[in-house]
Amino acid sequence: MTRYEIEELAQLIALLPPAPTGWVEAAQELPRALAGLDALVARAGEDAELRRRLLADLEAAFAASDVKPTRRLLDEARRRLQG
Amino acid sequence: MHAICVTAFRLPPHDAEDVFQDVFAKTWAELPKLRDDGAIRPWLAQLTRRTCIDRLRAARPAAEGEPAELPDPDDVLGRLEQALDVHRCMTGLGESCNEILDRFFARDESYRAIGEALDLPAGTIASRISRCLDKLRAAMEDPASRDRPVDG
């Protein structure tokens, strides 16, 4: 049986602070956002003008799709649209 | 994931958030292949660890090598495993103790904030924390409590 000191237990509890709420919300949103990105990239692959407009204002394109345009998502979208 | 990023690898918040989101996205993509519930936690820890290392390497020219001040991630991960055991045990103490201990030690809330959140007199919080820690220690030293699943 392991003996635990109260001080050590307190330290172990403190080792796992919760992740910031914003991180968790963004992570929960991610599957839907990635699905939205897949759809946008697919459409842009067939329509050069759409692709140009998307690259010109990605944030508006995501907002129109009801997807919160996080920095990570915007970077991923640019990478895939330019690739 | 959060603790591995900020405690084991000491990533700055911006990088830690990127790793957090990367790991979540990879996990979402791989979820259909993960059939063993018991394997998810070590798999997640390993993926988070690899992603943290990739992030550190990408942020630093190769010639600089490994940062000397970084603690051995294996040691820290072992400590985080212990911390997960403690948190698992806390869930078996009942909602009140779990919440008080989590708010005070993990969220670093004041007696006053805890009292307001839980509708308890602030003057009783310290004694409640003490009693809950005693209960937690007893539970940690009871193998049956320690082995209880988080959701069980």
Residues in chain B: 152
Last residue of a domain, one of B12, B37, B68: B68
Same domain, B64 and B75: no
Same domain, B106 and B54: no
Same domain, B34 and B48: yes
Last residue of a domain, one of B12, B34, B68: B68
Same domain, B151 and B76: yes
- The boundaries of the domain holding residue B118 are 71-152
Task: Tell me the pLDDT tens digit for each residue of B43-101.
Answer: 888 899 999 988 888 876 654 555 556 667 778 888 888 998 899 899 999 889 999 99
Structural domains counted in chain B: 2
Q: State the smallest CA–CA distance between residue A59 and chain B in angstroms.
A: 19
Same domain, B109 and B135: yes
CATH code of residue B136? 1.10.10.10
Tally of helices (H runs) and strands (E runs) in chain A: 5, 0
Q: What is the DSSP letter of A66?
A: T
Last residue of a domain, one of B33, B68, B103: B68
Q: Which residues of B5-16 are buried (b: 16+ CB within 10 A; e: fewer)?
A: bbbbbbbeeebb
Q: Which of A16, A23, A34 sits opposite B20 (nearest CB)?
A: A23
Whole-prediction pTM: 0.70
Q: Which of A3, A13, A72 sits opposite B101 (nearest CB)?
A: A13
Query: Looking at the predicted complex, does its ipTM rise above 0.85?
Result: no
Same domain, B37 and B86: no
Collect all residues of chain A within an 8 Å Cβ-Cβ radius of residue B20: 19, 23, 27
